Structure 1
Amino acid sequence: MAPRLKLFLPLVIFVVLAGFLYRGLSLDPMELPSALIDKPLPAFSLTALADGRALTRDDVIGEPALFNVWATWCISCRAEHPYLQRLADTGIPIYGINYKDEDQAARRWLQELGDPYRANIVDREGSLGVDLGVYGAPETYLVDADGVIRYRHVGVIDDRVWRDTLEPLWREVLAMAQEP
């Protein structure tokens, strides 16, 4: 390599690294894309928390719904819970996915804090969570009437998240369900 080119090598390396740094800093750390958007909710056969009966994908699809991944060990889930109850009280169907939790603790939680869920799917081993690509709790999936995942939200659902993001998508999914 010519002596003059060697002088510019550190500058070239610096520019390349600065470009990678700039790109990394411009990404939204809360945005975790899901490979399952516009794909069917994964098939599963797990038990219901309330009564231990078997639940499958076919038992929970047929109308638009939210699927909320939660656990008693999740501090953010406790913060989110009252808002989910408010949504359920307005008639929005929500299914819980009790993720890597203890059944007794989950039942006690729901008795104390209220139960916004149509049903709770016990995902003790995290198998459904793996199929969904869950990073942790809470996560919420918007699923249409055909059982297709339309959106994934990572983190707590609150008034701002519902109003700015989920509610407009919810209205779209409802409109799709009402089309002949």
Structure 2
Amino acid sequence: MLFVPLLIFIGLGYFLWRGLSIDPTELPSARLNQPFPAFELASLTEPSRMMTQDDLKGRPALVNIWATWCPTCKEEHAFLNQLAQQGVTIYGINYKDEPLKAREWLKRYLDPYAEVVLDKDGSLGIDLGVYGAPETYVIDAKGVIRYRHVGAVDAVVWKDLKAVMDQIEAEGAS
């Protein structure tokens, strides 16, 4: 009976120590190394055209979840434009947003996206396991999710994303 408080203290100390060693920015993705989830949603730029996961296939690319209501998305947008100018293929998923505002945003801040999927009700985001905007995925040419980043893409994050894309390119060449 005398050692019960000591055992409880040791057990609690272990769980607290373990919790401190976990990186809170590293969120697991159930979709990692699996095909991009199936969807059929309208294009933001051509509302009469329906898009599917097949529209994202063909070459390694980034898939960026964004919204006009997201201040961090605005922070990363200029960098995404730089990447697009360098030839990086970026697909956008406009997440839980108003289409008119999103189209105005792309006119005002420029459009880095090869295609933009309108996910107005967030159903695709739910299938992807999106926690919020922005999130960026790296997909290979077959549409398989190879990497996930939660938060803004900047020069530091781009190094990790580029390393994954380079690895995909190298695997495709061999």
| Range into which the TM-score falls when normalised by the shorter chain | over 0.9
Q: Distance in 2 between matches of 1:177 and 1:103?
A: 36
2:166 maps to a residue whose letter is R
Give the count of matched residue pairs: 173
Which residue of structure 2 aligns with residue 178 of structure 1?
Answer: 173
Q: Residues 47 and 122 of structure 1 are in contact (CA less than 8 Å); yes or no, is this contact kept in structure 2?
A: yes
Alignment TM-score, normalising by the size of structure 1: 0.94
Q: Distance in 1 between matches of 2:171 and 2:89?
A: 16
Which residue of structure 1 aligns with residue 82 of structure 2?
Answer: 86
Q: Name the larger-Rg structure.
A: 1
Which residue of structure 2 aligns with residue 116 of structure 1?
Answer: 112
CA shift, 1:178, in A, is 3.4
Which residue of structure 1 aligns with residue 30 of structure 2?
Answer: 35
Which residue of structure 2 aligns with residue 129 of structure 1?
Answer: 125
Q: Distance in 2 between matches of 1:174 and 1:90?
A: 16
Alignment TM-score, normalising by the size of structure 2: 0.97
CA shift, 1:37, in A, is 0.8
| Residue segments in structure 1 that go unaligned for 5+ positions in a row | 1-5
Q: Deviations over 1:35-55 (max 9, x none)?
A: 111100001000000011100
Which residue of structure 1 aligns with residue 39 of structure 2?
Answer: 44
1:158 aligned onto 2:170: no
Q: Deviations over 1:21-47 (max 9, x none)?
A: 000111001000101111000010000
Which SS does the other structure have where 2:2 is aligned? helix
Q: Distance in 1 between matches of 2:18 and 2:110?
A: 44
Which SS does the other structure have where 1:91 is aligned? coil
Identity rate, percent = 55
CA shift, 1:175, in A, is 2.1
Q: Distance in 1 between matches of 2:173 and 2:152?
A: 29
Alignment RMSD:
0.8
CA shift, 1:59, in A, is 1.6
1:104 aligned onto 2:100: yes
